[in-house]
Amino acid sequence: MSQVRVLVADEISKNGVEMLKAQGYKVDVRTGLKEDELVKVIKDYDVLVVRSATKATRKVIEASRLKVIGRAGIGVDNIDVDAATERGVLVMNAPSGNVVSTAELTIGLMFALARRITQADASMKRGEWKRKEMKGVQVQGKTLGIIGLGRVGAEVAKKAIALGMTVIAYDPLVSPEVGARLRVRLVTLERLLKDSDFVSLHVPLTPQTKDMIGKNELAMMKKGAMLVNSARGGVVNEDALAEVLEKNTIAGAALDVFASEPPTGSRLLSLPAAVLTPHVGATTNEAQEEVGSEIAEQIIAYLRDNVLKNAVNLPAKLDPELVPYMPLAEKLGTFTSQLGKCSAGKVEVSCMGELARKDTRIIVASVITGMLKPLSEEFSINWINAFAIAKARGIDIVSSTADDAGRFGNLIRVSLQTNGDRVSCAGSLMPDRGPRIVEIDESPVDIVPEGHFLLIAHTDKPGMIGKVGTVLGDSDVNIASMEVARAKPRGPAMMILELDDELQTEVLRKVRKIADLKSAIAIKL
């Protein structure tokens, strides 16, 4: 093998650079490269190391011979992971090094809000002495609501408890046992927003979490409550947040991340109740030292020993006969986790038919990946580390195979159990038709696993379809398709509606008020 060439395109620790050089790699540190500049030089390198500034776009990746892209940090928003996967480029991140720094910033932002530190500082520098106007609140004795109880969320919980706060959390993928171990009470998102004095977000930006805190969610918060987002921009709808701050509906908000960075022109920039920092959660000497060394270690382990750690995408070498089933398995995991709307306790994955003759661990891992990814802060979740992360969250995984897939050539069935409740769905990869969800809670269906859905459990009786259709029509929600799964007439039934657009929270509330309706769940795939 010829000498490995590494391009470090953003600043990382000197120790990380020296570790790479010690392996005999040719390491060039060239920061501040724009896309066109990077395209011109990337063809000469085997490894690209970035932080958050450099963009590893499809154009860059397709112009390269890269084997590895290493992200010194957690988020891979600046890397086109799909393009890398298509080209067989391994993408890995370093998720552990900045946990403490991000958690400490979160606590710092909370204190800044509680004691009006930034406003007091600005006032003093204007020559003012406004002690009464800078009256704040204590954090001891207050309730902190944490949305997302992964690495950073758990670290924030630990620090908040040490400060004498009561901590509650919303994370449907954390078991009650893990919550108890962290001394955190798990609640619904709605209960968290209503009961918390401070709300802190620690989730990634995914289709499921985009704008998860919007107008309706902000309206649930206490008038004196305060919001902190040091996770990802786009998780909070910034226009809705600006509106409630302007109206003093909540007391304040602190953001380290924004939907567009820098947030040029944002209404938040002019609001005294908003404390803003320029995405500095991981910007400490210690964090940069940690993530630089961490990503260097991982790159060396992969190139030298073929050992994978914190890989974000799929490695190139997979059983080609199983690869087509993996997206379906991941969709089934995502679907089931939203269908359950509960803390995961036990997950069962059954692979039947032609799949039974294969090593199905990759299918099971894909299911767990789909289940964990939407609401987890771990950007590196994939089949490589899905089992370890599930174990850390207290989720019991059971897998099985069976030769008989019924009327299907292949079938993947996923069930989720917790506290005596069970939900399930099954899917099949069908010849000439592609992936299909063919079963929900043991009732036959035929759904393409893509888009927005509304699942309604109800009693099968005349007028139910009309009632639901009227509510949706009055709310300008267009139904793309509909089917009803039932075991017998006038018994329990499941109405599955495919919608053209995402269902808004207020519309879902109206649907849930319909008589004889047992449940209504909005699902996004």
Active site residues: 232, 261, 279
Question: What separation in angstroms does the CA of 62 have from each of 42, 57, 66, 82, 405?
Answer: 10, 9, 9, 11, 41
Count CB atoms within 10 A of the CB of residue 515.
Answer: 10
Q: CA-CA distance, 219 to 80, in Å (whole number)? A: 35
Q: Are 50 and 291 in contact, with CB atoms under 8 Å apart?
A: no
| Residues linked to residue 459 through DSSP beta bridges, in sequence order | 492
Collapsing DSSP to helix, strand or coil, 487 comes out as: coil
Query: Across 157-259, where does the E strand assignment appear?
Result: 166-170, 185-186, 198-201, 226-229, 252-255
What does the block give as tokens for 120?
A: 């007091």
The secondary structure of residue 359, as a DSSP letter, is -
Q: Is 390 left (phi over 0), alpha (psi -120 to 50) or beta?
A: alpha
Cα–Cα distance between 461 and 493 in angstroms, integer?
Answer: 9
Between the alpha carbon of residue 334 and those of residues 156, 172, 248, the distances in Å are 26, 12, 37
Structure token digits, residue 429: 């990869």
Cα–Cα distance for residue pair 496/504, rounded to 1 Å = 17
